[in-house]
Amino acid sequence: MPRRIIYQVVLLLAVSMLSSIFQPFNHLNALAQPGCQTFRETGKSVCGRFLQYWQQNGGLAQQGLPLSSEFLEVSDLNGKSYTVQYFERAVFEKHPENAAPYDVLLSQLGTFQFKRKYPNGEPAGTQPTVAPNPTLPPTGNGPKLDVVDFTSYTRSFGGRVVVGLARNTGNALVGSAKVVASFKDGSGKIIGTASTSCSCILKPGDFWPFGISVPDASTGFASVAFQTEAKVASDFDKEYYYSDYQVVEVNVVPPSGYDGLTIVGTVKNIGTVVSEYAYVYIAVLDAAGKVVDVNSASTELDEIAPGQSSPFKVEFDKATQAPGYKIVVYGHQK
């Protein structure tokens, strides 16, 4: 066989062997997604489109920390497989069949929870009554939610956030609360919007510390205007949500090394039923009582029996000291 042909055969074999050797590494590179953020609290990363959705839809205050990586899951609704990622307060689903921004949707956790808790349909006695004359205005001032204080800052890990305090200033029990922020440029033109909501019961006078991630296109806003939404708590809200907690111990841990300000403490269930998924919302205030930073975290125990206590830890990005703070705890009845 001529030497030239032998050389070509050897070269082809070498290229084939190298391709098979490095194929796994190429596969790993294909799995790597640009624009990831790793959370030290859980050790999980949020990447790509999920990270963008997380940042633009309430971030940590609304969606919570990631509990898992991305993985395929068969939906209980239609039996189809979707790429999902679990967070403390939501489950993200990728829907590439939809155009943005609907290519990321939230799993229907309310549907799953309702079917689990009420397999035979909603309990008797909860049907809404029809008013004799629906055109008449409601008596009293009803549910009312007002933003009473807020500030904004650029986070150490990127992006800008607006944090503040909303308060139930009405005379009714609120079961659905929402704050919508409209970001405006120097001329007063709206350049972006974002919102956050509270899965909680707000009694008259109750505070709700909130945080809203500013969309990337609006980070240079000159002013922000708020709209709020508050609905009277339904019988389902009263049965599902829970707020009979007492903060019995608090310790403010100043920044040290790479760690920022941390507030730790203990929450006690002072009610009569077992609660689950309790979240501690904290607004750090300066010496003048103005909001500096807001964050939240779940209690260490997922379930808290009547009379039982659970520790909590909430970490902050902006605040370096806490001369004042407001702490509220909201959860669910088991």
pLDDT tens by residue, 38-66: 998 889 999 999 998 888 888 887 888 99
**Is the residue at 12 inside a domain?**
no
**Is the residue at 140 inside a domain?**
no
CB-count burial class (<10 Å; 0-12, 13-18, 19+) for 53? buried
> 50 and 105 share a domain?
yes
Confidence of residue 34 (pLDDT cuts 50, 70, 90): low
> 164 and 197 share a domain?
yes
CATH, residue 262: 2.60.40.10
> 203 and 280 share a domain?
no
Reply yes or no on whether the pLDDT at 133 is more than 70: no
Domain-terminating residue out of 206, 238, 270: 238
> 228 and 267 share a domain?
no
Q: How many angstroms from the chain centroid is the CA of residue 190? A: 24
- Taking residues 81-99, what's their average pLDDT? 89
> 234 and 178 share a domain?
yes
**Is the residue at 213 inside a domain?**
yes
Task: Please give the residue range of the domain that contains residue 79.
Answer: 37-117
Reply yes or no on whether the pLDDT at 186 is more than 60: yes
Q: What is the mean pLDDT of the chain?
A: 82
Token duo for residue 82 = 């979707």
Q: Are strands 174-184 and 309-315 parallel, antiparallel or unpaired?
A: unpaired
**Is the residue at 215 inside a domain?**
yes
A 10 A CB-CB count for 225 gives 13
**Is the residue at 10 inside a domain?**
no
**Is the residue at 303 inside a domain?**
yes
> Biggest alpha carbon distance in the chain?
102
Confidence of residue 284 (pLDDT cuts 50, 70, 90): very high
> 251 and 325 share a domain?
yes
